[in-house]
Amino acid sequence: MKEILLCKYGEIVLKGANKRYFEDILCKELRHRAKKHGNFEISRSQSTIYIEPKDDFADMDGMFESAMKTFGIAAIGRAAVCEKNLEDIKRVTREYIPQFLEGKKTFKVEGKRSDKAFPLNSMQLSEILGGEILEVTGGRIKVNVHKPDVVVKIEIREHGAYVHAGQFRAAGGIPVGTGGHGMLLLSGGIDSPVAGYMMAKRGLRVEAVHFESFPYTSEMARDKVIRLARTIAAYTGDIYVHVVSLTKIQEELVKHCDEDYFTLLLRRYMMTIASKLAADHDSKCLITGESLGQVASQTMEAIAVTDNAASIPVLRPCIGMDKEEIVEISRKIGTFDISIEPFEDCCTVFTPRHPRTKPVLEKVLVEERKLDFDALVEEAIEGAYTVRAEAY
Ligand code: ATP
Ligand code: MG
């Protein structure tokens, strides 16, 4: 029996005259993803995207999983295809539906006829097919029109007829790439992968920069970050991760600057380097996992000092979230277990004993001027290298 995926748009339906633009990017993304799973045809009609396998080797489960993580799709129906005549619809219903009713007590059938040329109306369809299901399940399951455990949908569209048992809630959001590019500051922590996921959900194509401090940080710490990038890539698409060493900068800071300002100074270097990389790679904003008040470097005063070193807007989607809320998303997207692996981060190697929580910019700048800021930034960028993190 041939199955098909029917993908329903989320917010795209509200886009008015721009709807086509969003649809085109979404279909392109789905076609790109489909390549991994075999031979599929992707088409659209009546505000639905159809994903159809073209041969028996196409991996329907893999494609379904991937479509469930594609932003722009709000819900996916997985359905069996039938010919547009009652006999075939009955046959498919009897063969396909019982598997979805295992262990359930009640069901109802919802017929939907958008092709008005079909001789039976929605009510008639529901009644006839409800009867078929009662018969094939031998009385193990009953009809309940008010609160059924399963809703079996029969749709008669111009395109064809479909029998499906329920819809699956998908990733929502708007298609990746419709909002341009953003440069994510990706650490090995819990928050920044979540931040990247959240901004991709709003249409940004994410690229990443990771700062390391080898040999104070290990290769394992870097490997962990690449695994985090590969995990969110299931949603964002493949991610280029630019790895930048801060070793020299940190050693210079330790030698010449007031310890209380280490973290702030380091974060200003990060913002400056990330802004320059963003400009080189056509990213229009930076993205961080900062959450107001979470640590000393995330008080409003500290954020203002850090922000001042960035030359493009800094998006902080976690800013108003509690740690618990961020953790909940990280569990959902599969990054949590990786994030809690205990490897050191460059921010944790030379941490001040008494970090400033209410820094004043002028004083930070006095410390910053003790080093040749621009030269250190240039040197760090020259030493950067790039890793492509592909979804698993
Ligand atoms: P996270 O859980 O994302 O690491 P955090 O709560 O540990 O965040 P900080 O270490 O203060 O907070 O970092 C704040 C933000 O700065 C991070 O969310 C991330 O965007 C960025 N950042 C911190 N360390 C790095 C790093 N080594 N490489 C790239 N970005 C970093
Ligand atoms: Mg961190």
Measure the CA–CA gap between 185 and 192, rounded to whole angstroms: 7
Strand arrangement of the beta sheet that strand 239-245 belongs to:
314-315, 283-287, 181-185, 205-212, 239-245, 385-389
* Crossing angle of the two packed helices 122-136 and 86-96, in degrees rounded to 10: 40
Tell me which residue has its CA closest to atom 25 in ligand 1: 187
Ligand at minimal distance from the CA of 199 is 1
pLDDT at site 261: 94
Residue 139 confidence (pLDDT): 81
What pLDDT does 3 receive? 92
Give the tens place of pLDDT for each residue, 1-54.
Answer: 889 999 999 888 888 889 999 999 999 999 999 999 999 999 998 889 999 999
pLDDT in tens, 260-276: 999 999 999 999 999 99
Q: What burial letters (b/e) apply to 144-164, b meaning 16+ CB within 10 Å?
A: eeeebbbebbbbbbebbbbbb
Residue 349, pLDDT score: 75
Q: What ligand is nearest to the CA atom of residue 336?
A: 1
Question: Which own/partner contact pairs does 19-23 have at CB distance under 8 Å and 24+ positions apart?
Answer: 21/178, 22/72, 22/174, 22/175, 22/178, 23/49
- The CB of 199 under 6 Å from ligand 1? The reply is no
The residue whose CA has the least distance to atom 2 of ligand 1 is 189
Q: Which residues of the chain fall short of a pLDDT of 50?
A: none
In the chain, what are the domains?
A: 3-169 (3.30.2130.30), 181-389 (3.40.50.620)
